[in-house]
Amino acid sequence: MPERAIFLDRDNTLIEDPGYINDPEQVKLIDGTAEVLIELKKMGYKLIIVSNQSAVARGIVTEKVLAKIHEKLEKLLAQQGAKIDRIYYCPYHPEGVIPKYRAESDLRKPRPGMILKAAEDMDIDLPHSWLIGDSARDIEAGKSAGCTTILIENASHNRTLEPKMEAPDYRAVNMKEVVNIIKKHDHDLEKMNNPAGTETGQQNKDQYTPLYELKAKPKDDLSQKPLSDISGTERLLNEILEQLRKNQRAELFSEFSMTRLMAGIVQVVVLFCLLVSIWLLMSPTRQTDAVLVTLCFAIVLQIMALTFFIMHGQK
């Protein structure tokens, strides 16, 4: 019986992307990656990496070193109890400097070659499988192979789809939200395919369409209107609202951080000190020394808050 799979891009999806990775020591898992993969595996999915590696064609890394890089990735995951079932990569690029790899290839995303090869090798049911990535070429490859797609829109690497590219089925701020999307999708699909055994339920069952065949309905907001119908101000407001939504979702699926909590508390104290200094300035006695002391406290505490925020960002 064919199995379901989740096809995963590598860089900026599972590991941090400092550029072209050419040393195993550069491999760093994105926070929460192992936990997410464990959860997806529990849901019954095969986990398969499909990655463009034009660095081989460009002479930046050899296939031998690339194998060590992938060994390091699998080792880091194994240390946290996670496992990838198979890794596929495309070393070709039409502008490569290594003659052996200077070629266009059906394996290279946005073409679906790697996904189709994996499906043949591992007996994968593509219509019930997923493609997770952070770029337009990932989404196009997944769509071409017949998978449901999720675009990761991480604020740290703000990627945008090219105008003629197909839109993803779903969008997520990180891999933690990806798990929630897939869980809800599977839950809804199960409800559709297994309604109550009543006559009404049977009638409803005949009306159901598998969720992976449904197209996302357009939202009734400014982003769906023709550009000619939207003024510059409206577009700007819409972009601001969209960014706020992304930030809220990122907060929802981010881990608790003590350094971030401390930074918030210290920031509140800074504001309190500033209010006290303003109150002292407006006081009839105008206690200059007290105002200076309060401002010094505010400055020191503000430096502390910035330090905590920097520590959180480097975590």
List 11, 17, 134, 169, catalytic entry: 11
Alpha-carbon distance 94 to 148, whole Å?
28
C-alpha to C-alpha distances, 72 to 26, 29, 115, nearest whole angstrom: 9, 10, 23
* CA of residue 178 relative to chain centroid, distance: 8
CA distance linking residue 308 with residue 101, whole number of Å: 47
Q: How far is CA 206 from CA 12, 100, 189, 201, 209, in A?
A: 41, 54, 14, 9, 8
In sequence order, what are the beta bridge partners of 150?
132, 170
- Catalytic annotation present for 221: no
Place of tokens 């490569």: 96
Clarify whether 9 is annotated catalytic.
Answer: yes
Please say whether the dihedral angle defined by the alpha carbons of residues 120, 121, 125 and 127, taken in this order, is positive or negative: negative
Count Cβ atoms below 10 Å from residue 129 Cβ, excluding itself: 25
Residues catalogued as catalytic = 9, 11
